[in-house]
Structure 1
Amino acid sequence: MSIEVGSFFGLLLLIADVWAILNIFQSRASTGGKTGWIVLVLILPLVGFILWFLLGPRASSFKG
Protein backbone atom coordinates (compact mmCIF):
# COMPACT_ATOMS: atom_id res chain seq x y z
CA MET A 1 0.00 0.00 0.00
CA SER A 2 1.55 3.26 -1.04
CA ILE A 3 0.59 6.77 -0.05
CA GLU A 4 1.00 9.34 -2.78
CA VAL A 5 2.94 12.49 -1.97
CA GLY A 6 0.15 14.71 -3.32
CA SER A 7 -2.36 13.14 -0.96
CA PHE A 8 -0.04 13.71 1.99
CA PHE A 9 0.52 17.38 1.17
CA GLY A 10 -3.19 17.82 0.49
CA LEU A 11 -3.98 16.48 3.94
CA LEU A 12 -1.39 18.81 5.52
CA LEU A 13 -2.89 21.76 3.64
CA LEU A 14 -6.39 20.82 4.81
CA ILE A 15 -5.22 20.67 8.44
CA ALA A 16 -3.41 24.01 8.09
CA ASP A 17 -6.48 25.67 6.55
CA VAL A 18 -8.81 24.37 9.27
CA TRP A 19 -6.35 25.65 11.89
CA ALA A 20 -6.22 29.04 10.16
CA ILE A 21 -10.01 29.31 9.99
CA LEU A 22 -10.35 28.46 13.68
CA ASN A 23 -7.78 31.13 14.53
CA ILE A 24 -9.56 33.65 12.34
CA PHE A 25 -12.81 32.98 14.22
CA GLN A 26 -11.01 33.58 17.52
CA SER A 27 -9.39 36.82 16.42
CA ARG A 28 -10.53 40.30 17.38
CA ALA A 29 -10.98 41.33 13.75
CA SER A 30 -14.27 42.78 12.59
CA THR A 31 -16.91 40.49 11.16
CA GLY A 32 -16.16 41.75 7.64
CA GLY A 33 -12.44 41.17 8.14
CA LYS A 34 -13.03 37.65 9.40
CA THR A 35 -15.32 36.91 6.47
CA GLY A 36 -12.76 38.19 3.98
CA TRP A 37 -9.94 36.10 5.44
CA ILE A 38 -12.07 32.96 5.60
CA VAL A 39 -13.21 33.39 1.99
CA LEU A 40 -9.60 33.89 0.91
CA VAL A 41 -8.44 30.75 2.72
CA LEU A 42 -11.33 28.71 1.28
CA ILE A 43 -10.95 29.91 -2.33
CA LEU A 44 -7.14 29.90 -2.46
CA PRO A 45 -6.09 27.35 0.18
CA LEU A 46 -2.30 27.56 -0.13
CA VAL A 47 -1.95 31.24 -1.01
CA GLY A 48 -4.70 32.21 1.44
CA PHE A 49 -3.02 30.30 4.26
CA ILE A 50 0.36 31.87 3.56
CA LEU A 51 -1.11 35.38 3.38
CA TRP A 52 -3.10 34.82 6.58
CA PHE A 53 -0.02 33.46 8.34
CA LEU A 54 2.04 36.51 7.37
CA LEU A 55 -0.56 39.30 7.44
CA GLY A 56 -3.76 38.07 9.02
CA PRO A 57 -5.42 38.77 12.34
CA ARG A 58 -4.11 36.92 15.35
CA ALA A 59 -6.25 35.05 17.84
CA SER A 60 -7.07 37.09 20.87
CA SER A 61 -5.27 35.93 23.96
CA PHE A 62 -7.59 35.98 26.94
CA LYS A 63 -5.84 36.93 30.13
CA GLY A 64 -8.14 36.90 33.02
Structure 2
Amino acid sequence: MNAVLDWAAALDPRLVLLSLIGVLNLWATGVTALSRAPTREKMLWVAVIFLCPIVGSVLWFVFGPKLWAERR
Protein backbone atom coordinates (compact mmCIF):
# COMPACT_ATOMS: atom_id res chain seq x y z
CA MET A 1 0.00 0.00 0.00
CA ASN A 2 2.87 2.34 0.73
CA ALA A 3 4.19 1.96 -2.83
CA VAL A 4 0.81 3.07 -4.24
CA LEU A 5 0.78 6.15 -2.00
CA ASP A 6 4.35 7.01 -3.00
CA TRP A 7 3.41 6.69 -6.68
CA ALA A 8 0.32 8.90 -6.24
CA ALA A 9 2.31 11.53 -4.35
CA ALA A 10 4.92 11.63 -7.13
CA LEU A 11 2.36 12.47 -9.86
CA ASP A 12 2.56 15.92 -11.35
CA PRO A 13 -0.73 17.74 -10.62
CA ARG A 14 -0.60 19.45 -14.02
CA LEU A 15 -0.48 16.07 -15.75
CA VAL A 16 -3.45 14.83 -13.73
CA LEU A 17 -5.46 17.97 -14.56
CA LEU A 18 -4.56 17.74 -18.24
CA SER A 19 -5.62 14.08 -18.30
CA LEU A 20 -8.97 14.89 -16.64
CA ILE A 21 -9.64 17.68 -19.15
CA GLY A 22 -8.78 15.33 -22.01
CA VAL A 23 -11.14 12.64 -20.76
CA LEU A 24 -13.91 15.22 -20.25
CA ASN A 25 -13.43 16.51 -23.80
CA LEU A 26 -13.53 13.02 -25.29
CA TRP A 27 -16.65 12.14 -23.30
CA ALA A 28 -18.43 15.36 -24.30
CA THR A 29 -17.51 14.78 -27.95
CA GLY A 30 -18.73 11.18 -27.86
CA VAL A 31 -22.08 12.09 -26.32
CA THR A 32 -22.48 14.94 -28.81
CA ALA A 33 -21.77 12.58 -31.71
CA LEU A 34 -24.38 10.11 -30.43
CA SER A 35 -27.07 12.76 -29.97
CA ARG A 36 -29.86 13.34 -32.46
CA ALA A 37 -28.92 16.98 -32.92
CA PRO A 38 -28.44 18.26 -36.48
CA THR A 39 -24.95 17.76 -37.92
CA ARG A 40 -24.26 21.49 -38.01
CA GLU A 41 -25.03 21.79 -34.30
CA LYS A 42 -22.84 18.78 -33.52
CA MET A 43 -19.90 20.27 -35.41
CA LEU A 44 -20.33 23.59 -33.62
CA TRP A 45 -20.31 21.89 -30.21
CA VAL A 46 -17.23 19.84 -31.08
CA ALA A 47 -15.43 23.03 -32.17
CA VAL A 48 -16.38 24.81 -28.95
CA ILE A 49 -15.31 21.84 -26.83
CA PHE A 50 -11.87 21.59 -28.43
CA LEU A 51 -11.12 25.29 -28.93
CA CYS A 52 -12.00 26.17 -25.32
CA PRO A 53 -11.39 22.91 -23.43
CA ILE A 54 -12.44 23.89 -19.91
CA VAL A 55 -15.11 26.49 -20.66
CA GLY A 56 -16.35 24.57 -23.71
CA SER A 57 -16.90 21.39 -21.72
CA VAL A 58 -18.76 23.25 -18.98
CA LEU A 59 -20.93 25.06 -21.55
CA TRP A 60 -21.61 21.76 -23.28
CA PHE A 61 -22.64 20.15 -19.99
CA VAL A 62 -25.09 22.99 -19.26
CA PHE A 63 -26.45 23.81 -22.74
CA GLY A 64 -25.44 20.95 -25.04
CA PRO A 65 -27.49 18.10 -26.48
CA LYS A 66 -28.88 15.82 -23.80
CA LEU A 67 -28.42 12.21 -24.88
CA TRP A 68 -30.01 10.76 -21.77
CA ALA A 69 -33.16 12.92 -22.16
CA GLU A 70 -33.67 11.78 -25.78
CA ARG A 71 -33.73 8.06 -25.03
CA ARG A 72 -36.68 8.13 -22.64
- Normalised by the length of structure 2, the TM-score is 0.80
> Is residue 21 of structure 2 the alignment partner of residue 8 of structure 1?
no
Identity over the aligned pairs, expressed in percent?
27
Structure 1 stretches of at least 4 aligned residues deviating more than 4 Å after TM superposition: none
Contact 1:28 1:58 in 2 (8 A): no
Equivalenced residues, count: 62
Give the structure 1 partner of residue 46 of structure 2. Answer: 38
Displacement of 1:58 after TM fit? 1.3
Q: CA RMSD in A?
A: 1.3
Q: Describe the superposition over 1:17-41 as per-residue Cα deviations: whole angstroms up to 9, x where unpaired.
A: 1000000001111000000000000
Gapped runs of 5+ residues in structure 1? Answer: none
Higher helix share: 2
Which letter maps to 2:47? V
> Is residue 34 of structure 2 the alignment partner of residue 21 of structure 1?
no
- Normalised by the length of structure 1, the TM-score is 0.89
Which letter maps to 1:24? T
